[in-house]
Amino acid sequence: QTIPVPKRPNMAMFETQSIEEIVRLINDSKGRTMVLFTSTKRMNAVAKQIRDMGRIPYTLLVQGERPHGELAKQFAAETSSVLFGLKSFMTGVDFQGETLTTLIIEKLMFAVPNEPTIEARCEWIEKVDRENPFYAYLLPQMCLVLQQAVGRLIRHTNDRGLIVCLDPRLVQGKYSSRLQRDLPNSPSTRDYTEVADFLATC
């Protein structure tokens, strides 16, 4: 089943289907998963649903419930654990080996356009530089964030694992090629059978 683009009027469908994919990937990965979210509200909602329904048999660590350093330390030490985090978990952490086998990015992490500093920068680009602020600023910034997120998985020459982006805009749409341009050159698939086969070897 194809996950829709996370925009209205498809947001509810995206959120429902993304939870199903997150649960399936965590279980097929035997834990060993970090899931990156774009908002605290969404991250906590997914964590609550998974816990309330007992959908994974692994320790679930959620950013904000304990100090950042404690979560990172436990995730690294407890190989089968699962870590839910936000943008701040994209830098400054190093999880080598099996403890991080699957990295899930739920949504592409575009900056919020109406955040005051972002809005001011976009207005300057549009009025002074006479450029489209989305392509001149927001998209390049998002590409950098995506590179940082992907870098959480591959930290050593011997590391291997799976990077999953549940946001279909990475592979479809008018700017998908720009998003993919700076990512590692590695095999890709949209067939979950191939995903499951790969995880069975990890």
Between 91 and 201, where is the model more confident?
Answer: 201
Give me the pLDDT at residue 31, please: 96
Q: What is the mean pLDDT of residues 176-183?
A: 84
φ, ψ of residue 66 to 5 degrees: the values are -145, 165
Between CA 48 and CA 42 the distance in angstroms is 10
Using CB atoms within 10 A of its CB, is residue 148 exposed (0-12), middle (13-18) or buried (19+)?
middle
Task: Write out pLDDT tens, residues 1-29.
Answer: 589 999 889 999 999 999 999 999 999 99
Beta strand segments in the chain, E = 33-36, 60-62, 82-85, 102-105, 162-165
Q: What is the mean pLDDT of residues 113-138?
A: 82
Between CA 178 and CA 15 the distance in angstroms is 25
- In the structure encoding, which two tokens stand for residue 46, read together? 């997914």
11-28 and 40-52 are packed helices; what angle lies between their axes, rounded to 10 degrees? 60
Task: Write out pLDDT tens, residues 52-87.
Answer: 999 999 999 999 999 988 999 999 999 999 999 998
Between CA 80 and CA 148 the distance in angstroms is 23
Give me the pLDDT at residue 154, please: 62
Between CA 12 and CA 119 the distance in angstroms is 27
Between CA 178 and CA 188 the distance in angstroms is 16
Give me the pLDDT at residue 129, please: 76
Collapsing DSSP to helix, strand or coil, 54 comes out as coil
Collapsing DSSP to helix, strand or coil, 102 comes out as strand
pLDDT tier at 145, thresholds 50, 70, 90 = confident
Tell me what percent of the residues of the chain surpass a pLDDT of 70: 95
Which residues lie across from 164 on neighbouring strands? Answer: 104
Asked if pLDDT for residue 149 goes beyond 90, the answer is no
Asked if pLDDT for residue 155 goes beyond 70, the answer is no
Task: Write out pLDDT tens, residues 31-46.
Answer: 999 999 999 999 999 9
Task: Write out pLDDT tens, residues 181-195.
Answer: 878 778 888 889 999
Between CA 82 and CA 100 the distance in angstroms is 9
- In the structure encoding, which two tokens stand for residue 145, read together? 């964030």
pTM above 0.95, yes or no: no
Give me the pLDDT at residue 166, please: 94
